[in-house]
Amino acid sequence: MRDHGGNIDWAKAHYGGDDWIDLSTGINRVPYPVPALSPEAWTMLPTGEAKARLMCAAQAAFGTQAPGVALAGAQAAIQLIPHLMPPGQARVLAPTYNEHAASLRAAGWSVTEVSALEDLAGADLAVVVNPNNPDGRRHAPEALRALAQQVGQLIVDESFADPTPALSVIADPGPILVLRSFGKFWGLAGVRLGFAFGAEDLVARLSDMAGPWPVSGAAIEIGCAALADADWRRDTIARLEAEVIRIDAMAEQAGWSLVGGCALFRTYATPDARSAQDQLARQQIWSRIFPYSDRWIRLGLPGAPAEWERLQAALT
C-alpha cells in the first residue's frame, strides 16, 4: 500500500478512542463554511453553463486566464497525466507526494526520483511540487519556466500554493501544466475538487479523459461560492501565517527543529519520529511520519482553540 496521511481509521483501531484531532494531512481545519445548496445540485447532472461558471470562478481566484479543467481533486489529474503521452523517462523531484511517481510507474513510465531541480532536465516528463510536501522546498517561478524549456513536459503541483500566490506560475503557465487543489486551503477535502491549467491542447485532452461530469453539482456550487469569497481567503491567509509561528514555537519548546513546510503544514526533525508520533497518538492526536526518514514528523495546523490546547499539552 502507498503511504499517506489521513489514515485516521488505522490510528483509531490501533490506539482506541473517538475524540481524535487529525493533523496528519495539510488540510485546513478551519474550513470554508459550506453554503446552502440548491436542490438541482443533487438532482441534475451538472450543466455546461455550471461547469463554465466554476472555471470562471477558479480563474479569477487563482489569477489566470489560462485554459483549465475542473477534476475530482488534484489526485484525479495526477492519475490522468501519465496517459497524456506515451510512456517514457519521467523524473520527480523528491522526496514528495508519492502519488506522482506511483501513478507514472503504474502507467508504464520509467521513473527516477532526483533531489535537485537541475537534475530534472532532459526528462520526457518532470514533476515538481511547489511548495513541496513534506519539506516545504520552494522554487521561484522563473526557475520553473526555465526548466520547462529543458523537459518534454513539466508538471507543477501547486496544491499548497494558495497562501503564497507569488510562488505560483499559474498566471502565465506557458507549456507548464499546473495543478491546484481546492480541498486543502479551503478545508473541504471531501468535496473532491481540483483543477489543472495549462496549454489548450493538454487541458482539452485531460478534459476528454475525465469525461463529461468530472465533478458533482454540489462541488460546483460549493466551489463557486468559496472561490469567489476574497475576504475569507484574505483572512485565512493572515490567520495561517500567524499560526505557523505559534506551532513552530511549540515544536521548538518540545525540542524539535523545523525542517520546513508552508502555511498549511510543518515538518520537524525529532530524535525519533515514531516515538514522537506514538506520544501524540496516546493523546489522540494523529501526525504523519515517513518511511524514508526516522526523524521527520509532519503536523497540520490545529483548528479550534481546544485543539491548540490539546497539542500544547501533548507536546509538553
Q: Which residues contact 226 (CB under 8 A, 6 or more apart)?
A: 32, 182, 186, 188, 232
**Backbone dihedral angles phi then psi of residue 159, each to the nearest 5 degrees:** -60, -25
Identity of the amino acid at 104: L
Q: Which residues contact 273 (CB under 8 A, 6 or more apart)?
A: 289, 290, 293, 294, 295, 296, 297
Rg (CA), the chain: 19
Residue 72 · residue 174 · CB < 8 Å: no
Q: What is the distance between the alpha carbons of residues 154 and 148, in angstroms, rounded to a whole number? A: 5
Q: What is the pLDDT along the chain (316 residues), one digit of tens a residue?
A: 688 999 999 999 999 999 999 999 999 999 999 999 999 999 999 999 999 999 999 999 999 999 999 999 999 999 999 999 999 999 999 999 999 999 999 999 999 999 999 999 999 999 999 999 999 999 999 999 999 999 999 999 999 999 999 999 999 999 999 999 999 999 999 999 999 999 999 999 999 999 999 999 999 999 999 999 999 999 999 999 999 999 999 999 999 999 999 999 999 999 999 999 999 999 999 999 999 999 999 999 999 999 999 999 999 9
pTM metric for this prediction: 0.97
Identity of the amino acid at 115: S
